[in-house]
A and B are shown apart, each in its own frame.
Chain A
Amino acid sequence: MRLPLLLSLLGLLVISLFLASLMIGPAGLAPARALAALLRAEGTAETLVMREIRLPRALLAAMIGASLGLAGAAMQGYLRNPLAEPGLLGVSGSAALGAVIALQTGAAAAFALALPAAALAGAVVAVALVVLLAGRQGGSITLILAGIAVSAMAGALTALVLNLSPNPFAAAEIVFWMMGSLADRSMTHVWLALPPMALGWLLLASMGRALDALTLGEDVTESMGHSLARLRLTLVAGTACVVGAGTAVAGAIGFIGLVVPHILRPLVGARPAPLLAASALGGAAMLLAADIAVRLVLPERDLKLGVLTALVGAPLFLHLIYRARREGLT
């Protein structure tokens, strides 16, 4: 498929899902009324619902989905491994640990930016560890083992911090930090996540050419004037920015960075650079769809997003491992 056509179709899908996300909610507003309330500042209850409850939710779903799709495509391009993904490799989990520490120590209450900053720090540690461990010669097994170790450690420490909290609700929120949810997020969260996320988008998008060159081998990449060390640094910083900021406000959401690039790769002719843009749009569409689904399937229960993404993603992950083994990539 021609790239402009693919990107327009994906863009259209994101816009329709974004509008659908704005239309769905327990208040039961008629679509025309909902849009009018969103656009006109009438000071009514409808305006409050649309601007303070539904808009931030839809914005965050698009932003975080795009971040995860982009980060997945970039990691897969750099590591040249279709199994790389921020959720599976423990990057999201470590970001969640950072966020939980910032919240429970009171740092986030004292200084709002401490929340994304701490999540970002957690993500940096994880993504740096994984990239260094997986290294140049590392195969799928090394990558997955590194991911399992980092995820397990981050998950255990998150559970520990929440169990030690004096807050009676904290321990029950382990599931939120591990599965993710966008329920009752506000514009405050949008503004908190946007700056680091935008920086991360720029960093990851700048990797396109070098990633294309990398498909021809590392020597070719270097001879074309791309520094591999700088590419790695860009990947670490960009991934940490987008995953850290997203996880800080919505918890760890897995599998989007795995599923989306996998589906879109054949459509862009397996070139990493166009895959970055396509995966960002695809990720936004997938998370918007998942967040619409959790509100339609079990509206009262705050079903976690990770449940839906894992239901789609885990079988695909198994299939990828099977194929990687058959092709001798291990």
Chain B
Amino acid sequence: MPRPAGRSTLALPRASRLAALAVALGCATAAAAEPPRRVVSLNLCTDQLAMMLAAPGQLISVTHLAADPMISVMADQASALALNHARAEEIHALNPDLVLAVSWTPRHTVSMLRRLDLDVVEMPLAMRLEEIPANIAQIGHWLGREAQADALIADFHAGLAAIAPPVGDRPRAVLHNANNYTSGSNTMAGQILALAGLANIAEEAGISGGGSLPMEQIVMLAPDLVIQAQRYPGASRAEGVMDHPAMAALRNRGGGTLADAEWVCGTPHVLRAVARLTALRHPSTGSE
């Protein structure tokens, strides 16, 4: 297993230079030896992995996003924990001995927490399916829950292996989100689509990452399936594109949904989305 990346290891020399203070405070080196007992997570993705792996009582707080069923697949579990808004002051007040952040956590929050002498570790966000096992292992290592992490990784690999390889022709699909945003093959959502045996028209338009695909182009590419995001409460013009008559006409030929919660974080739950989308191809394969 690789050493944990980031500042947790870099913090050690500094701690040893301040040895007297470190000993007096009961210190980071001692905490590294045994599992942390009060873990706080600052990001939706570390929230969900930590909830899957932590020992009972070990994880004391996750973000309020984790309790929002619109973007979290583990909202029920999260609502039982203290919810934070990733603000330095409230995190410090929770008195954590380990803070889980990601590389996208605002720099000023991370540096403020480190100045308050908290142990902050940063997980890289998984942008592709292949990166999910490493992140599970990383969180497992930080929480001292390697065995649970190994079991979860094994489950994930088994789940991946169980997905039936696509047979026959692949229906052409577009992922249609607010603001005509779509995801190409080099994204988590795009990989979910590919694993489900669907061809992504973002490829034909030259989009491999995420990007906006003008509605005119979507219509001209004439996908067999329009897979749209879920709607949030309230209203927005950004989501209004999903109600556009041109998109409604396309959806009449075939449609499905892929909720943000299902792909926004790299967790083993992405496999459920694959299973759901696989069902969409049966009508067309059956008609052959």
Question: Which residues of A line the B interface, CB within 8 A?
Answer: 25-27, 45-46, 48-49, 52-54, 103-104, 106, 108-109, 165-170, 172-173, 176, 184, 186-188, 299-300, 302
Smallest Cβ distance from A19 to chain B, in angstroms?
17
Q: Could you say which residues of chain A place their CB within 8 Å of the CB of B232? A: 166-169
Residues B217 and A167 in contact, CB atoms below 8 Å apart:
no
Which of the residues B212, B219, B235, B249 comes within 8 Å of A27, measured between beta carbons? Answer: B219
Overall SS of chain B's interface: helix
| B159 within 8 A of partner (CB) | no
B246-268 with Cβ < 8 A to chain A: 246, 249
Known contacts A167-B233, A169-B179, A184-B180; A53/B238 CB under 8 A? no
Residues B234 and A186 in contact, CB atoms below 8 Å apart:
no
Smallest Cβ distance from A159 to chain B, in angstroms?
14
Give me 24 A-to-B residue pairs in the complex whose CB atoms sit less than 8 angstroms apart, sorted by A's number: A26-B214, A26-B216, A27-B216, A27-B220, A45-B222, A49-B216, A49-B246, A53-B215, A103-B235, A104-B235, A109-B235, A166-B232, A167-B239, A169-B179, A169-B232, A169-B236, A169-B238, A169-B239, A170-B234, A172-B238, A173-B237, A184-B180, A184-B215, A186-B245
Residues A48 and B234 in contact, CB atoms below 8 Å apart:
no
Q: Could you say which residues of chain B place their CB within 8 Å of the CB of A26? A: 214, 216-217
The CA of A104 and the CA of B232, in the complex, are separated in Å by: 12
- 11 further interface pairs, Cβ-Cβ under 8 Å (given A49-B246, A167-B236, A300-B212): A26-B216, A45-B220, A46-B220, A48-B246, A165-B235, A166-B232, A172-B238, A173-B237, A173-B238, A176-B237, A299-B214
Q: Could you say which residues of chain B place their CB within 8 Å of the CB of A184? A: 180, 215, 240-241, 244
Q: Could you say which residues of chain B place their CB within 8 Å of the CB of A172? A: 238
Q: Could you say which residues of chain B place their CB within 8 Å of the CB of A188? A: 245
Give the residue among A25, A165, A184 with the most B Cβ atoms within 10 A. Answer: A184
The CA of A302 and the CA of B215, in the complex, are separated in Å by: 12
The CA of A172 and the CA of B233, in the complex, are separated in Å by: 15
Residues A104 and B245 in contact, CB atoms below 8 Å apart:
no
Known contacts A167-B232, A169-B179, A186-B246; A48/B219 CB under 8 A? yes
Residues A186 and B244 in contact, CB atoms below 8 Å apart:
yes
The CA of A306 and the CA of B105, in the complex, are separated in Å by: 34
The CA of A169 and the CA of B222, in the complex, are separated in Å by: 27
Smallest Cβ distance from A48 to chain B, in angstroms?
5
Give the residue among B216, B220, B222 with the most A Cβ atoms within 10 A. Answer: B216
Smallest Cβ distance from B84 to chain A, in angstroms?
18
Q: Could you say which residues of chain A place their CB within 8 Å of the CB of B217? A: 26-27
| B178 within 8 A of partner (CB) | yes
Residues B249 and A48 in contact, CB atoms below 8 Å apart:
yes
Q: Could you say which residues of chain A place their CB within 8 Å of the CB of B236? A: 165, 167, 169-170, 173
| 6 cross-chain pairs, A with B, having the tightest CB-CB distances, nearest first | A167-B234, A169-B238, A169-B236, A27-B216, A26-B214, A52-B246
Known contacts A27-B217, A45-B222; A166/B234 CB under 8 A? yes
Smallest Cβ distance from B229 to chain A, in angstroms?
11
Known contacts A49-B216, A169-B178; A104/B234 CB under 8 A? yes
Which of the residues A45, A48, A167, A186 comes within 8 Å of B235, measured between beta carbons? Answer: A167
B197-223 with Cβ < 8 A to chain A: 212, 214-217, 219-220, 222
Smallest Cβ distance from B7 to chain A, in angstroms?
30
Who on chain B is nearest to A187 by CB? B245
Who on chain A is nearest to B238 by CB? A169
Smallest Cβ distance from B186 to chain A, in angstroms?
18
Residues A53 and B235 in contact, CB atoms below 8 Å apart:
no
Who on chain B is nearest to A100 by CB? B235
The CA of A325 and the CA of B268, in the complex, are separated in Å by: 69
The CA of A136 and the CA of B141, in the complex, are separated in Å by: 77
Smallest Cβ distance from B20 to chain A, in angstroms?
48
The CA of A173 and the CA of B180, in the complex, are separated in Å by: 15
Give the residue among B179, B215, B237, B249 with the most A Cβ atoms within 10 A. Answer: B237
Residues B233 and A166 in contact, CB atoms below 8 Å apart:
yes
Q: Could you say which residues of chain B place their CB within 8 Å of the CB of A25? A: 214, 216
Q: Could you say which residues of chain A place their CB within 8 Å of the CB of B244? A: 52-53, 184, 186
Smallest Cβ distance from B231 to chain A, in angstroms?
9
Q: Could you say which residues of chain B place their CB within 8 Å of the CB of A300? A: 212, 214
Who on chain A is nearest to B216 by CB? A27
Who on chain A is nearest to B71 by CB? A168
Smallest Cβ distance from B209 to chain A, in angstroms?
14
Q: Could you say which residues of chain B place their CB within 8 Å of the CB of A104? A: 234-235
Q: Could you say which residues of chain B place their CB within 8 Å of the CB of A46? A: 220
The CA of A166 and the CA of B69, in the complex, are separated in Å by: 13
Who on chain A is nearest to B260 by CB? A168
Who on chain A is nearest to B232 by CB? A167
Q: Could you say which residues of chain A place their CB within 8 Å of the CB of B234? A: 104, 165-167, 170
Smallest Cβ distance from A185 to chain B, in angstroms?
9
The CA of A319 and the CA of B32, in the complex, are separated in Å by: 68
Residues A49 and B238 in contact, CB atoms below 8 Å apart:
no
The CA of A104 and the CA of B246, in the complex, are separated in Å by: 24
Q: Could you say which residues of chain B place their CB within 8 Å of the CB of A187? A: 245
Who on chain B is nearest to A173 by CB? B237
Q: Could you say which residues of chain A place their CB within 8 Å of the CB of B237? A: 169, 173, 176
The CA of A296 and the CA of B72, in the complex, are separated in Å by: 39
The CA of A207 and the CA of B222, in the complex, are separated in Å by: 50
Who on chain A is nearest to B70 by CB? A168
Which of the residues A49, A166, A168, A186 comes within 8 Å of B219, measured between beta carbons? Answer: A49
The CA of A26 and the CA of B218, in the complex, are separated in Å by: 10
